[in-house]
Structure 1
Amino acid sequence: MSGVMQRLRVSQDAHSYYLVFAALLLSMTLVVDLLFHQGMDNRWFVWVLLFFCLSGALVTFVLGRRVPRWVGTTCVVVFLIAQAYFLGLDDDPASVIASVQQLPVVAFYLGWFVRPRLALALIGLCLVVFSAVMASNPLFATTGAIGTPVAVHGLLGLMFCFAAGMYLWRRQVRLASVDPLTGAYNRQGLLDRLEYQLSRRSLYRTPLSIVAVDFDRFKELNDTRGHAAGDLVLSRTVESWQHGIRAGDAVARLGGDEFVILLPRATAKSAQEIVDRLRLNREHPWSWGIAEAVPGETSAELLARADATLYARKRARRERQSSEDAQ
């Protein structure tokens, strides 16, 4: 039994854990209502919600990280409909207050685990619907049994928890797409942005160029001065690039001393002008290759062309140096 529980715990991620614990928390509030709220007229509905929460928690815990995000979003929508129903009860202050207290749990989920566009649309809909329902409920009137401040505090708590969830989502995305050493995007972060820019290019026909960069004799630097010195050179160079590129441009580290600079709205000629500017104050020499996107080209093909240009440049330089040494 302990082995099964251990496997189930290992199979979880932040999304499944949040769904499980949120469902259990909401289940406990429903149990409290069933035990102590004697004047409740809608017990059958509470029992349905309790079954929904408990079964959802069990299924989510069994599936773990395999639970699709749309399942959580669907559960949130169902729960928000239920909350709108409870908030509209004008003869049951206890149920209304309980609903107000549960709103932050759902708002936090929307901010953290639902894609921003859908999350913003849902939270905006929630604010409109809940505001309308509360405004029409005499319990939330200035002289009502609950009062207007409770309604305002509930909506403010809703927005605060949504904003906190959005912050965690953005932080999670950043950690997954940024190279920790240099602060540049990592390979996945580059591919995401490159795919987006290629799709924009196909729609608006704007130019797009990338610059493949490889540091010269970087292994020699690591061998003679140590890896810490090499890391410092990389981080300082990326910092210099980020100050020198335009708004909307991006720097990515593919690995080791290999980098790509993404230049939307730049032809090969203007990309070369940007490279010339970046090379003025370079701490360590680096080589580059430029490729301008052509219609129908994939991100892999564009990166391959930039790499080919880079290594052709390095090969030509080595041959020229060899020729000069021979003379």
Structure 2
Amino acid sequence: MAALIRRQDAHSLYLASAAFLLGLTLLVDVVFHKDMINPPLTWALLMFCVVGGCVVIAFGRQVPRWIGILSVLIFIVAETYYLSLPDDPQSVISSVQQLPVVAFYLGWFVRPRLAVALIVVCLLVFGATMWTNPLLWADGIIGALVGVHALLALLFCFGAGMYLWRRQAHAATIDPLTGAYHRQALVDRVAQRLQRRSTRRDPFCLVLIDFDDFKHLNDSRGHAAGDAALFDTTAVWRDELRTGDVIGRIGGDEFALLLPHVKVEGARAIVERLKRASPYPWSAGISQSGIGDTPDSMLARADRGLYREKLARPGRRVRSDG
């Protein structure tokens, strides 16, 4: 059981939980709904939920996102059918109760562009279906307010899911201590700039930074002092840099700056300004984008420049001091 739990991630847990919850709702309908119009469809959806939930639990984090999207599409079709039944108020109410589960999944686990498109489709299709169902008219058995509340709940749960997705995406790209981009996020931004045609006539620079004697600071004053030095220094950089400049944390006390629309000379001027304002000393190497460059080649050139600057500092050790 413990191994099975460790195999899960947020996506698989939510997908399985949603499948079992929707399956439980369908089971209640099968047991207590005596005048059900289409029992075979309800049974088929019930089996789909139970089997699907078990498969998701078995595969855990290996379950691809397209499985969830396909399941959502199936339920959109099924919910539209149930919402359209003019002689089955219990099925309509059950469908209304299930809408937030699907909306929350779309918001949290589906990429924003596709998620927004699907939620718009849901609003249009469900809204039109409710509008044509006499049960959901102002004088109907269920009433128009239930339909309005259902659509509002759909939007609310979708928004809540989007909020969680944004928090998750932020945590995956931003270093929590300094607020700088993680290495891969910075590399992705460099790669995007290199792919632009304008890069040849409008180059940019990548600055690789390594704090001086950082290991000695950690050893003599503790890691809290080291963290404070990183935090305070990057805060100064953020104040001094231009709009559009990007700070990335490559690892430990090693950082990189992406400086758009600037050549080496301009990048050197920016680096000198940052050094004068920084509360803690550091060394830097600069590389300018060129034809055929990759993020790795730019980082390698900047690293060689950083190494040369470290060597030029009297009495400084190069790599062992952090």
TM-score, shorter chain, exceeding 0.5: yes
- State the secondary structure of the residue aligned to 1:90: coil
1:81 has 2:59 as partner: no
Structure 1 partner of 2:121: 125
Matched, 1:228 2:218: no
2:188 is the alignment partner of 1:192: yes
CA distance in 2, matches of 1:110, 1:287: 46
Structure-2 residue corresponding to 1:145: 141
Q: 2:75, 2:142 → 1: CA distance?
A: 22
Q: Which runs of 5+ in 1 are unaligned?
A: 321-327
Q: Which residue identity lines up with residue 137 of structure 2 in the other structure? A: A
Aligned residue in 1 for 2:211: 215
Q: Does 1:240 align with 2:221?
A: no
- Paired residue type of 1:123: I
What are the residue-to-residue correspondences of 1:1-327 with 2, within 5 Å? Answer: 5-199=1-195, 201-202=196-197, 206-318=202-314
Deviates more, 1:279-288 or 1:263-272: 263-272
Note if contact 1:139-1:145 (Cα within 8 Å) is conserved in structure 2: yes
Within 1, Cα distance between the matches of 2:82 and 2:265?
Answer: 63
Change (3 A) 1:151 1:296: farther
String of CA shifts for 1:78-134, please: whole Å, max 9, x gaps. Answer: 111111111122221211111111111011111111111111111122112212222
Question: Partners of 1:170 and 1:95 in 2: how far apart?
Answer: 34
Q: What's the counterpart of residue 325 of structure 1?
A: none
Structure 1 range deviating more: 10-19 or 285-294:
285-294
Determine the C-alpha separation between the residues in 2 that align with 1:237 and 1:316: 22
Match of 2:320 in 1: none
Aligned length: 315
Q: CA deviation at 1:306?
A: 1.3
Shift of 1:233: 0.9
Output the aligned Cα RMSD.
2.1
Match of 1:323 in 2: none
2:199–2:289 Cα contact (<8 Å) kept: no
Distance, in Å, in 1 between the alignment partners of 2:227 and 2:80 is 55
Q: Quote the offset at 1:264 in angstroms.
A: 3.1
Report % sequence identity: 55
Letter paired with 2:237: W
Post-superposition offset of 1:308: 1.3
**Deviations, residues 135-184 of structure 1 (Å, cap 9, x unaligned):** 22222222222222111111111111111111111211222222232222
Separation (CA, whole Å) in 1 of partners of 2:138 and 2:214: 71
Contact 2:237 2:278 in 1 (8 A): no
Against the structure 1 CA distance between its residues 88 and 273, is the aligned structure 2 distance closer, same or farther, given a 3 Å change threshold? farther
TM-score of the two chains, using structure 1 as the length reference? 0.89
Is 2:193–2:199's contact at 8 Å kept on the other side of the alignment? Answer: no
